[in-house]
Amino acid sequence: MILDIKGVTKVFHGKGESKNVANDNITFTINKGEIFGLLGHNGAGKTTLVNQILGLLTPDHGDIHLLGKSVTQSSAHARSLCSIQPQSQVSLGLLTPKQAVTLIGKMRMGKKFEPKRVEALFEALDMGAWANTEGEKLSGGVRRLTAFCMAVIAPGELVILDEPTNDVDPVRRSYLWQVIRELTKNGSAVILVTHNVLEAEKAVDRVAIMDKGKILTQGNPSEVKSLVEDRMRIELSLENEFINIEVPDWSLSPHQNGSRLIFSLDPSKVSSTIDWAKNLTDKGLVIDYSLSPTTIEDVYIELTSKRGKFRNEYGQPL
């Protein structure tokens, strides 16, 4: 076992008697060679939990063990076991991706650093064209990939990736997931922190859904999806995100994210739903639609939103 979190609670106190329970009795474990998804909208408590894993914050209750040793008793040791890609963009200044990644590799590995590792990473991610371009001239996606390389050039026992695919194009996203899986084959465990539920479902071995500081459910993707396994889901691409679509009475957990409209339904309502969607398409309100089995995104929406309320990708009411 790489990581063991038991009953972690963290409370931030404001003015007067106000308080924010950022983490509320969080418990889970992560094993060697495993990708663990930590899913939740902004403010769910994910970053606070990560900061406690790294020893940057101390839990008010509970404890965290990395390779059997308490993080609260040895935070420096904990950080030596971890590699992290933060959610915020890394400022490269005039450094090129190759220089930045090489610098981190030398800092973490010293004389054991192997420069060929940089070349191999850049080749795997198809970054060669930007390897020697100054950071100020790079796109957001390339800077994101550079930050990922900085995190995994000398991977720790636990690699924490916070929204690693933000701004990254679809082709290189697929390359990135291949590199992540290679990390686990070599023994590292990975925590994937994200609100991109659909993407996470394809990558993780186990997942926990967080909301308001609590873990609402956790398990492998099949176990989590079993919470709504008797349902179907429909996804519609609207002509534009400002179209007001009145959803059917039988819709379950309707959710709009930009021009995507999604809801779950009972299998008995499939025929009626297709007729409804086809009618909207004929009117030019919907570009296309698809019907499929439920996903982790459906579970996420069901657990974090109220029935009949549209919410955006961060779980906030629209």
CA gap 238, 285 in Å, rounded: 6
**pLDDT, tens only, 67-85:** 999 999 999 988 899 999 9
How many independent structural domains does the chain possess? 2
CA gap 261, 241 in Å, rounded: 9
Residue 193 maps to a domain: yes
Residue 24 maps to a domain: yes
- 159 and 35 share one domain: yes
- 84 and 11 share one domain: yes
CATH number at residue 7: 3.40.50.300
The beta strands (E) that lie in the chain are given as: 3-13, 19-30, 35-39, 61-66, 69-70, 82-85, 158-162, 189-194, 206-211, 214-219, 232-238, 252-257, 260-265, 286-293
Mean pLDDT for 42-66 is 95
Strands ordered across the beta sheet of 286-293? 252-257, 260-265, 232-238, 286-293
Predicted pLDDT of residue 304? 83
Pairing of strands 61-66, 3-13: antiparallel
**252 is in which domain, residue-wise?**
228-304
Residue 186 maps to a domain: yes
- 256 and 179 share one domain: no
- Give the global pTM: 0.84
The last residue of a domain, from among 219, 240, 255: 219
Place of tokens 């192997």: 114
Confidence of residue 200 (pLDDT cuts 50, 70, 90): confident
Confidence of residue 16 (pLDDT cuts 50, 70, 90): confident
Out of 42-46, 88-92, 201-205, 259-263, least confident range: 88-92
The last residue of a domain, from among 191, 219, 247: 219
In the three-class reduction of DSSP (H, G, I as helix; E, B as strand; rest coil), residue 163 is classed as coil
**Which residues contact residue 222 at a Cβ distance below 8 angstroms, ignoring those fewer than 6 apart?**
none
- 18 and 84 share one domain: yes
pLDDT over 50 at 65, yes or no:
yes
Task: Look at 195 and 291; give whichever has higher pLDDT.
Answer: 291
- 209 and 255 share one domain: no
Confidence of residue 236 (pLDDT cuts 50, 70, 90): very high
Residue 317 maps to a domain: no
Predicted pLDDT of residue 219? 95
Q: Which of 124, 125, 137 is nearest to 96 (CA)?
A: 137
CA gap 315, 318 in Å, rounded: 9
Mean pLDDT for 178-187 is 93
Would you say the C-alpha torsion 212, 218, 221, 224 has a positive or negative sign? negative
Predicted pLDDT of residue 205? 95
- The one-letter amino acid code at 251 reads S
Mean pLDDT for 286-297 is 92
CATH number at residue 275: 3.30.70.250
